[in-house]
Chain A
Amino acid sequence: MPALVIDHLVKTYGDVRALDDISFTVEAGELFGFVGANGAGKTTAMRIALGVLRADSGTVTWDGSPIDLARRSRIGYMPEERGLYPRMKVGEQLVYLARLHGMGRADAERAMAHWTEVLGVADRRDDAVEKLSLGNQQRVQLASALVHGPEILVLDEPFSGLDPVAVGVMSEVLRGEAARGVPVIFSSHQLELVEQLCDRVGIVRSGRLVASGGIDELTALERPRWTLEADLPAAWTPGVPGVTAARVSERMWSVEAADAAAAPAVLASAVQSGRVTSFVPNRPTLTELFRDVVAEPEGEAA
């Protein structure tokens, strides 16, 4: 199975270490969410993967070989700072971009018709891009990344500025592309969306990948937590080693343990002390995970 391998990338801007030895792999057919605080290095990493920026060291390979110009033209790219010719017509522009990626005229026309249809901008084909609303320009931008039938998709914040309907359409499109066997890597600050959409997530901080893996895997790695709903004395403690409990409200307790195996003992202790109405494991959301990982003290934030 071919994979996009980002291997030990380093990039510095003067004193700023934008990428500090970052490595990760995106398999074919996988949706990879790339998250991190502002200035963490997401855009830098994606630009290097695309070859529009050169790394100080490290390599990017696809299917074992470095990404050269021929291969690069098989990538669909949506840059962070959106860009199209403002005065060129939507249809003309998409056909032009498809042909720059090596498509024949007829194929390019067909692909343009298809993607403007799918992304809901078919009736704007003959309008200059600058006449479209921001969200619609965004749709055209995505169409420009897809129009040449790319083998790899690299999208820098594709969801910013989209209305909920467009987010739905775009998500469907990305799922469809992944199902076609395309590795899709995209960055986003909309973590709920990333959580729903992605197979795997990578969290960057200060140019380093601090966590990566499947959502389940990542959230399970954290200290297990439960929410306990019970009538208990205010001074109640679980009395199990390594387990802490904090009273959140009158009947709500938040329990945290070093190990998930502590659950039965905690529940037993609670049942002994009062009436328990519910005891549920509390998976952290990606947002919480992100906060934890990013807030961890280590070096200075970029």
Chain B
Amino acid sequence: MIWLIARREFRTRALSKASLVTSSVMIVLIVVGALIAKPFLESDGDAETIQVASGPTAALAPYLQAVAAAQGTDVEVIEVVDPATDALDEGVAAVLTGAVTQPELFVDSADDAVVGLVQAAVQAAALDAQVEALGGDPAQVSQALAGSTAAVIVLGDADGFDSGEFFAGFVVILVLFFVLVQSASVIMMGVVEEKSSRVVEILLATVRPSTLLGGKVLGVGLYALMQAASLMLPLVFAAVYLDLLGSIGISVGALLLNFSVWFVLGFALFTVLFGGLAALVSRQEDLGSVTTPMMLLMMVPLYLAIYLVPNSPDGPVTAGLTQVPFFAPFLVPMRLAFDAISPLEVASAIVLCLIAIPLFVWLAGRIYAGAVLNTGGRMRIADALRRR
């Protein structure tokens, strides 16, 4: 029975033209965006080409390569007979000609990184030449140079604000927030639609109010999950394809798992409650009187997660609120991103949410059952609970 209801909800949402169009447009945008962005993002990491004139200058090539390797930049050194020096060839960063110790460097602008690189290479070549002239072994010298580094001891706060972690947690709870707000509104609109079109009365003649509400939440939930997945998958594809995640240092798997667990828990907690509250009004126009407080209410845990967690990832207030089901869906993912929560805390937050869900369902079911057949103005919660 509950599946029949869920299926109808799912189908009416998923098969609606608007939904199909939006989803496909988003997917196409993300994928095409990634495909177009790739060459631009990559041109930065491309190897710089330095043309070295054949002849004496060519002796600089190994030094250029060594310096580039030490600096961690990618440089391609090509030996060219009589390179063009009045204008650089396409894709060429610099041209080097002349004697090893006093070469001439042609570049587009003097502050190119390539200038410093060539400078260092020329000095290294000169140093080698001098060492050899003095009868020493250049290899030994460079080894000694490489070996003498200072040990760095950082005295500042080691747990500095990590923007990568913050970003990962932020994305998860922000997506969660928007998906929840959107699904809650879809459910609320559905509840009011049934109420204003008065189908509820024939539905309730054969279905329990809680089953009806539950089926709705389930159907819309699956739809929202599918929609979220249809956005997340291309996003993840884009991120992997563009190699964005490497720089954040968070694994995609953990991010998705984190998201899905709290999506399901948060979904059950919030949407059930808001579905129940939606039954308090009878017309779409009055829905605002329920949705506005809902949005404000949901912003509380969102802002706590954004402002409290980075400042005090494992402080007592944060730890305490983490265990409150209403806040957990936002606080836990954020703290997980900061790696500031113990597995035990996560487990107990999940268990508490699992206990709270039936209570929320019961409460929402009561409100829903009491209010759903009431027509006319907005009903008060207390009246709805007393009703029937």
Interface residues of A (CB under 8 A from B): 47, 50-54, 69, 72-73, 75, 77, 79, 81-88, 96-97, 99-101, 144-145
Q: List 10 A-B pairs, minimum CB-CB distance, nearest first.
A: A83-B198, A79-B201, A73-B206, A83-B199, A77-B205, A81-B198, A52-B204, A50-B205, A101-B206, A54-B388
A81 touches B201 (CB 8 A): yes
B197 CB-CB contact with A under 8 Å: yes
Residues of A contacting B208 in the complex (Cβ-Cβ under 8 angstroms): 69
Nearest residue, chain A, Cβ from B12: A88
**Bound-complex Cα distance A29 to B45 (A):** 85
**Bound-complex Cα distance A279 to B388 (A):** 57
Residue pairs across A and B with Cβ atoms less than 8 A apart, 11 shown, are A51-B205, A53-B373, A53-B388, A73-B206, A75-B205, A82-B198, A84-B202, A85-B194, A96-B8, A100-B5, A144-B202
Interface residue total, chain B, C-beta cutoff 8 A: 22
**Bound-complex Cα distance A53 to B388 (A):** 7
Query: Min CB distance, B20 to chain A, in Å?
Result: 16
B1 CB-CB contact with A under 8 Å: yes
Question: Which residues 344-388 in B have Cβ within 8 Å of A in the complex?
Answer: 373, 375, 388
A99 touches B388 (CB 8 A): no
Query: Min CB distance, A102 to chain B, in Å?
Result: 8
Nearest residue, chain B, Cβ from A88: B12
Query: Min CB distance, B184 to chain A, in Å?
Result: 21
Asked, given contacts A52-B373, A100-B4, whether A72 binds B206 with beta carbons under 8 Å apart, the answer is: yes
B203 CB-CB contact with A under 8 Å: yes
**Bound-complex Cα distance A81 to B208 (A):** 20
Asked, given contacts A79-B198, A83-B199, A86-B197, whether A96 binds B205 with beta carbons under 8 Å apart, the answer is: no
B205 touches A85 (CB 8 A): no
Residues of A contacting B4 in the complex (Cβ-Cβ under 8 angstroms): 96, 99-100
B373 touches A100 (CB 8 A): no
B200 CB-CB contact with A under 8 Å: yes
Residues of B contacting A87 in the complex (Cβ-Cβ under 8 angstroms): 12
Residues of A contacting B202 in the complex (Cβ-Cβ under 8 angstroms): 77, 79, 83-84, 97, 144-145
Nearest residue, chain A, Cβ from B387: A54
**Bound-complex Cα distance A54 to B373 (A):** 12
Residues of A contacting B1 in the complex (Cβ-Cβ under 8 angstroms): 100
Residues of B contacting A100 in the complex (Cβ-Cβ under 8 angstroms): 1, 4-5, 203, 206-207
A52 touches B201 (CB 8 A): yes
Residues of B contacting A97 in the complex (Cβ-Cβ under 8 angstroms): 202
Interface string of B139-182 (1 = CB under 8 A from A): 00000000000000000000000000000000000000000000
**Bound-complex Cα distance A101 to B206 (A):** 6
Query: Min CB distance, B225 to chain A, in Å?
Result: 23
Residues of B contacting A86 in the complex (Cβ-Cβ under 8 angstroms): 197
**Bound-complex Cα distance A144 to B202 (A):** 9
Interface string of B181-220 (1 = CB under 8 A from A): 0000000000001100111111111111000000000000
**Bound-complex Cα distance A83 to B199 (A):** 4
Nearest residue, chain A, Cβ from B375: A81
Residues of A contacting B8 in the complex (Cβ-Cβ under 8 angstroms): 96
Nearest residue, chain B, Cβ from A148: B206
Which of A52, A53, A54, A85 is B197 in contact with, Cβ under 8 Å? A85
**Bound-complex Cα distance A69 to B200 (A):** 15
